[in-house]
Amino acid sequence: MNSSTRIPQGDDTVKVELTVKEVLALSGAKFPNNHSIEVSARKKLKSIIEDHYIEEYKRSH
């Protein structure tokens, strides 16, 4: 992301419940026999963004 990108409410905090394995997978740890761990974590993050910020953006425009 470059410095000219503006993200409204970009400094707000969000809460997402992830398992330790999901956090490790997002930080780069490999689980070669279980790719679904990383997929699950990414889905949770995407869901938070879509549910809160995309809907809010749509309502304001």
Q: Convert the pLDDT of each residue in 5-55 to its tens digit.
A: 676 777 888 889 999 999 999 999 999 999 899 999 999 999 988 887 766
Cα 48 from Cα 17, distance rounded (Å) = 10
Given a contact cutoff of 8 angstroms between Cβ atoms, the answer to whether 21 and 31 are in contact is: yes
Give the pLDDT confidence score for residue 29 in this predicted structure: 93
pTM above 0.85, yes or no: no
Rounded to the nearest 5 degrees, what angle is found at the Cα of 12, between the Cα atoms of 24 and 60? 120
The CA distances from residue 25 to 9, 42, 44, in Å, are 26, 10, 13
Give the pLDDT confidence score for residue 52 in this predicted structure: 76
Give the pLDDT confidence score for residue 50 in this predicted structure: 84
Q: b vs e for 18-39, b when ≥16 Cβ sit within 10 Å of the residue's Cβ?
A: eeeebebbeeeeeeeeeeebbe
Over 60: is that where the pLDDT of 1 sits?
no
